[in-house]
Chains A and B, each alone.
Chain A
């Protein structure tokens, strides 16, 4: 049987061929510390939050 696709490869498959993928993993230097803080900041500055969901694997 062909070697089964591992979790990390599945993540790549889930992204689109047209994209060159890169997994995130570095904290922003000066960002909100929690999601609630991010939403509060968004309300204050009248902006949206762009949440980058990533994993380390």
Chain B
């Protein structure tokens, strides 16, 4: 998208008069060393660099022509290096500097640092609170994946976003998806319900393709968490797969794993996962899907089959400790079943 926009978008082309855009394939030629030098961790990452090769700004992702151009122009307008900007911020904090330093922190995956800077930006410029809160939540969400934030901390900020910043319908969907993912990971699925309800209400009647896709995922959660209707959830979940998914090992596995996680449609899930095992393109992937099969067998009470599938997974990927632990787990269940 960015590549096309560079050549076609008038906003980006106008902005480019103020700086020199240089594209670097991080895995080829000079790009390999440059990516190392500038500690690039994800793509696309944009790094503003002065003529001495020093970093003056950096950010992750292309957020559309308007947003990208605005960020790049702000970078071009302040060519001080990051250490200089940090010093200036300590002496005289401004919201603009806080945002710049937050984005730079996020580029190196220092999400706690990014959140701290954005919170300062919010205090310095209350008029921008809505946007800053969305950014804070996004960084908290990514930070939580590495243990930087607890679910309680993220939810507190999410409540603030939902109740005080008047998020747009699309932002409500993003918010609901973030909270729902975290809630699920931490065993707090029920706590995502208010966010799911708010997002579904705000986007009712939407014809936007992206919104509709995300709505379906939220409707699945609603069916599971509010309606307690697993069949409805399964029907909606099935509708999210594109044609030909039954010939794709990863998709078959995802389908089976979802059924396992939600304890629904286990017989079909087992068949699909076994088909995924056949179609898998590597032993590692095959072992991964066999783990799904074993979990389903175990849930169905077929403990001997679970052990057999897990033994095969360990054979295919003997280095993976998790599979060995799973085998021991299933063997214990089988033993208990036989003795007791």
A residues contacting B by CB (< 8 A) are 1-4, 10-11, 13-29, 31-32, 34-35, 38-43, 45, 47-57
Which of these binds chain A: B48-56, B197-205, B299-307?
B48-56
Known: A1-B292, A16-B60. A50 touches B47 (CB 8 A): yes
- Cα A35 to Cα B49 in complex, Å, equals 11
- Cα A9 to Cα B23 in complex, Å, equals 21
Pick the contact of A15: B42, B75, B79, B295 (CB < 8 A): B42
A14 adjacent to B2 (CB under 8 Å): no
A16 adjacent to B76 (CB under 8 Å): no
A48 adjacent to B6 (CB under 8 Å): no
Query: Main SS of chain A's interface residues?
Result: loop
Pick the contact of B1: A3, A22, A35, A39 (CB < 8 A): A22
- Cα A42 to Cα B48 in complex, Å, equals 11
Chain B: how many interface residues by the 8 Å CB criterion?
70
B20 adjacent to A24 (CB under 8 Å): no
Q: 26 interchain pairs (CB within 8 A)?
A: A11-B43, A14-B41, A15-B60, A16-B60, A18-B134, A19-B67, A20-B62, A20-B64, A23-B44, A31-B21, A32-B20, A38-B20, A38-B22, A39-B52, A39-B53, A51-B22, A51-B46, A52-B2, A52-B22, A53-B38, A53-B44, A54-B24, A54-B25, A54-B26, A54-B43, A55-B26
Q: Which residues of B contact A23 (CB under 8 A)?
A: 1-3, 43-44
Q: Which residues of B contact A32 (CB under 8 A)?
A: 20, 22
Q: Is B5 an interface residue (CB 8 A)?
A: yes
Known: A11-B42, A22-B2, A55-B43. A17 touches B19 (CB 8 A): no
B residues contacting A by CB (< 8 A) are 1-7, 18-27, 30-31, 34-35, 38, 40-53, 56-57, 60-64, 67, 72, 75-76, 79, 106, 109, 134-135, 138-139, 141-142, 174, 177-178, 250, 253-254, 257, 285, 288-289, 291-292, 295, 322
Q: Which residues of A contact B291 (CB under 8 A)?
A: 1
- Cα A53 to Cα B46 in complex, Å, equals 6
